[in-house]
Structure formats: C-alpha cells, structure tokens
Amino acid sequence: MNRIITIGREFGSGGREIGRKLADILGVAYYDREIISEIAKRTSLSEKYVQNVAEHKPIIPFPIHTGRTFWAVIPDYNQSVQQEQHNIIKEMASKSDCIIVGRGADYILRELKPFRLFIYSDMNSKILRCKNNNISNDYEKGAGMSESELTKRIEQINKSRADYYEFYTGQKWGDKANYDICINTAKIEPAKIAEFVSKIC
C-alpha cells in the first residue's frame, strides 16, 4: 500500500510550505492546486471556476420543505466537480506515495489509513506569514491591506475551509481527534517541522 500523508492547514500557518518541503525530503509526489488543474482539464471548466466550486461548501438555492424536514438540492455543477475531485484524490493515492494538501483528503482516503497532519498557528503568526515572502501571491498576501482587514480575510478563508470540511465529511475541521499530529507553527520553523515529520510519519 502506498504511503499517503494528508495535510489539513489553517490559512497563513505555512501548511503548503511544510508539505512541499516534506515531499522534497521524502521524494514523493505533492498534490495541492494540481488537483484543481486536473479537474479543469477533465471537465473543460476554467481553473478559476473549478477552484471556486471545489473549495467551497455549495450554496443551496432551493431548500425544499416537506413537513418538518428540509431537503437540500445540491446544484449539479457542484456535484460533478466534487465527484471529480473525489476520484482524482483516490487515483493519486493509488498511483504512488504522495502528500495531499487540504480538500478533506484525510476523510476521502480514510480506508487507506493516511498519516494525517494538521498545521495551525495563532493570528499574529498568520498575519506575519502572509505579509512576508512566504506567500508569493499578492492577493493571498493581502497586499495593501491594513492589519484588521488582513485578520478578517484570514478568518473568512479559515471559516470557509471549516464549512467545506464539515459539509463534506461530517467531522469538525481542526479537531485533533481526526489527526495524528497537530503542529503549531508559531514557534517552530517549517523546515524543522518537515524534517521531523519525515521521520515519524
């Protein structure tokens, strides 16, 4: 069976950087945005559109009310993107040893018993990480934002990740019971974390 490592991470906590370094050390495949590109290729939808659909809980436009029960109608476009994402994650895990970041992969691959990491930190560290060069994308870096705007942005992104995870897995995002190790990056360097996770996973 392949060695699978999944990484859940709070936005701004350095999870992606740790995942990349860990993949380099272990010499295994690394999947993050590659999943979005692959869905876009298979569905002929744009990457931007796929990313928006694949990373957010669906907006339910028509809740149907029958007696005391609400039935949610999940839009078709959402179901097919989610199904594609699900298939791709399973294919990647069956192909070779790999690291998969986000997307509820710890839950999707639970029968393969992956090593499940969760990366988090406090708000100050997240703000610092967004502002410095560890995040190269200007939008994610919050270029030109005040500290309180950046705080709000970080909270919104993490709320959206939590909603997505909880909607599709029925589990609480970031609840340590669902992971093998949870690491706070406020005091420990990503390179050190990657090095040591490579020896314990």
Place of tokens 């709070």: 10
Minimum distance, C-beta of residue 54 to a copy of itself, in the bound complex (Å): 26
Residues engaged in binding a copy of itself (CB under 8 A): 113, 115, 118, 120, 122, 174, 176-177, 179-184, 186-188, 192-193, 195-196, 199-200
Q: Provide the minimum distance between the beta carbon of 76 and a copy of itself in the complex, in angstroms, as a whole number.
A: 38
Which residues on adjacent β-strands are paired with residue 4? 98
Q: What whole-number distance in Å separates Cα of residue 13 and Cα of residue 190? A: 9
The residue (of 152 and 172) whose beta carbon lies closer to a copy of itself is 172
Residue with tokens 């996770």: 197
Q: Is 71 helix (H, G, I), strand (E, B) or coil?
A: strand
Nearer to a copy of itself, 157 or 188 (CB): 188
Rounded least distance, CB 117 to a copy of itself, Å: 11
CB of 7 to a copy of itself, least distance (A): 15
- Between 76-95 and 47-54, two packed helices, what is the crossing angle to 10 degrees? 90
Sequence-distant (6+) residues with CB within 8 A of 198 are 22, 25, 26
